[in-house]
Amino acid sequence: MKTLTITRPDDWHTHVRNGALLKTVLPDTAKQFARAIIMPNLKPPVTTVAQALIYRDEILQAVPVDMDFTPLMTLYLTGTTSEADIKLAAESDAVVAFKLYPAGATTNSDAGVANIKAIYPALSALEKYDLPLLIHGEVTDEHCDIFDRERLFIETHLNDIVKNFPALRIVLEHVTTNEAVQFVSASANTIAATITPQHLLFNRNALLAGGIRPHYYCLPILKREQHRLALVAAATSGNPKFFLGTDSAPHLSTLKETACGCAGCYSAHAAIELYAEAFERADALDQLEGFASFYGADFYRLPRNITTVTLEKQSWIVPSAYGAGDSTITPLKAGETLSWKLR
Ligand code: NCD
Ligand code: ZN
């Protein structure tokens, strides 16, 4: 049987929620990833070190006893985040970064930043304390076409941020466009990006052609094929600025299969297998280990993992749902066949 053994990967962007949903999804992340960057967009958002420590404990409680998993916590940047908050975070071993959501850009972002220029003092403090800034890079202007929101964020906000804070380490999360790939590639080594499995595997036809498929709806939204191709080229290039971040974002199936469905794809059930599929299609399986296991750790200045995982070339059918009763989650590629399986 064909196998692929790589250093154990990390997930540099994921949503594991809390409460019952956390218990359902966390084992999927913990079985394959040694560490994961945990997004802070709970209700209410995780804005302080004290809240992050409580949330971290809840996550650790959900790790199955036979698994070894470290959650890396992030704090939610708001219009009132102070330099003192940032100093406390920098001094905490549990918190590794701050997350900037433009207000209204995505799921649970109401508490996000309405005026980006107004938080420049906080960005200056992040630069001073050397804490990375993770950005959901989409403008929120309701008149802006949803397919242009990432490109416009780069033009309107990111260019300025990068110019004003040259030493600030920034991760442009879940990039979806050729323009984002170009911007990150041309920037200094302080700027990196994560790429999701869905944006490597699908274009917007998966969401909209032949019927509307809510389980392919996430933000930033799937784009045209030319953008998918740019993302595949970046992910498989060996350029350490691009690394794995699933953006696995579970929502109950009932909340996605409705007249106004939630944004987010659940991919933690088969994340590394989905990436393996995308890399194999690009004839670049030899680049998977750098993307999945090395470049993110290097950017966050954390040690690379030393254990390994093995994938087997073996067909399996993704379950149609996870969870029980009316609390189920529909995973990416539900009911479809995958060609790689984590041993
Ligand atoms: C994420 C969520 O559900 O929390 N949704 C998504 O579509 N990606 C939020 C986010 O990362 O934008
Ligand atoms: Zn996300």
- Per-residue pLDDT tens digits for 71-88: 999 999 999 999 999 999
- Helices 19-32/271-281 angle, 10° precision: 50
Q: What is the mean pLDDT of residues 304-316?
A: 98
Q: Which domain holds residue 278?
A: 3-342
What's the rounded Cα separation, in Å, for the pair 156 and 201? Answer: 28
Tell me the best of 25, 101, 107, 173 to mutate to test the pocket of ligand 1, counting ligand atoms within 8 Å of each CB and taking the most. 107
Give the distance (Å) from ligand 1 centre to CA of residue 126. 23
What radius of gyration, in Å, describes the C-alpha atoms of the chain?
19
> Beta-carbon neighbour count of residue 201 at 10 Å?
21
Give the distance (Å) from ligand 1 centre to CA of residue 264. 5
Active site residues: 247
Q: What is the mean pLDDT of residues 44-64?
A: 98
pLDDT in tens, 169-210: 999 999 999 999 999 999 999 999 999 999 999 999 999 999
Q: What is the mean pLDDT of residues 151-175?
A: 98
Backbone angles phi, psi at 104, to 5 degrees: 85, 5
Q: Domain total for the chain?
A: 1
pLDDT higher than 90, residue 1 = no
Judged by average pLDDT, the poorest of 4-8, 106-110, 265-269, 310-314 is 106-110
> Which one, of 215, 311, 254, 278, lies nearest residue 8 by Cα?
311
What pLDDT is attached to residue 271?
98
Ligand nearest to the CA of 140: 1
Q: What is the mean pLDDT of the chain?
A: 97
Ligand 1, residues at Cβ distance < 6 Å: 15, 41, 106-108, 136, 218-219, 247, 249, 263-264
Q: Is the pTM of this model over 0.95?
A: yes
What pLDDT is attached to residue 107?
84
HEC readout, 193-230 = EEECHHHHHCCCHHHHCCCCCHHHCCCCCCCCHHHHHH
DSSP 77-97: --TT--HHHHHHHHH-SSEEE
Q: Which ligand 1 atom minimizes the distance to the CA of 106?
A: 12
Tokens read off for 312: 């087997």
> Which one, of 159, 166, 158, 160, lies nearest residue 189 by Cα?
166
- Helices 225-235/271-281 angle, 10° precision: 100
What's the rounded Cα separation, in Å, for the pair 175 and 234? Answer: 10
Tokens read off for 100: 């900037």
> Beta-carbon neighbour count of residue 117 at 10 Å?
11
Give the distance (Å) from ligand 1 centre to CA of residue 133. 17
Beta partners for residue 309, in sequence order: 6
Residue nearest to atom 5 of ligand 1 (CA): 264
Say which CATH number the domain at 39 has.
3.20.20.140
Give the distance (Å) from ligand 2 centre to CA of residue 284. 26
